[in-house]
Amino acid sequence: MFFEAKIDCDAFDVSEHLEGLVKRDLRGKQMARIGVKRSAIPQIGKAFGEAANDPAKREAFRNDPIAYLRSAGVAQEELDGLNIVLHEDDDNTVHVVLPQVVDAGRLRANDHEYLKMLGTMAVLGCHRPLS
């Protein structure tokens, strides 16, 4: 049995919640590290799920993460200049990603909604079998 996180993608406004999270400068504009259209999120989720369950797709993701993300619907220009590193969890290892920077003003102000979003993003990818 596995833990299943349920998120209402329509209620969880990805672009709004990424505002103030980790950003990068791309052609003079501050943007989310990997910008995607909201409509692409299910396709990306499917590609990640398939890589987790299908050894051939997992190997394809390992061998060329950029190509795999492109095939999942992420535009090449969103991947340009990025070093994409795939980390894989196992029974004894869970990876937690620490953002490069977050919105210091909202953090200092103890913005409850922002902190809730940061906490959700921090643990969202942490899955391990339940005994």
Q: What value, to the nearest 5°, has the Cα angle with vertex 17 and ends 16 and 20?
A: 95
Q: What pLDDT, on the 0 to 100 scale, is given for residue 23?
A: 43
Q: What is the pLDDT of residues 89-118, one digit of tens each?
A: 888 888 888 877 888 898 999 999 888 888
Q: What pLDDT, on the 0 to 100 scale, is given for residue 32?
A: 54
Q: What pLDDT, on the 0 to 100 scale, is given for residue 14?
A: 46
Q: 3-state DSSP call for residue 33?
A: coil
CB 71 within 8 A of CB 47: yes
Q: What is the pLDDT of residues 41-76, one digit of tens each?
A: 889 989 999 999 999 999 999 999 999 999 999 989
CB 91 within 8 A of CB 128: yes
Q: Rounded to an integer, what distance in angstroms lies between the CA atom of residue 130 and that of residue 40?
A: 30
Q: What pLDDT, on the 0 to 100 scale, is given for residue 81?
A: 87
This prediction has a pTM of 0.65
Q: What pLDDT, on the 0 to 100 scale, is given for residue 127?
A: 63
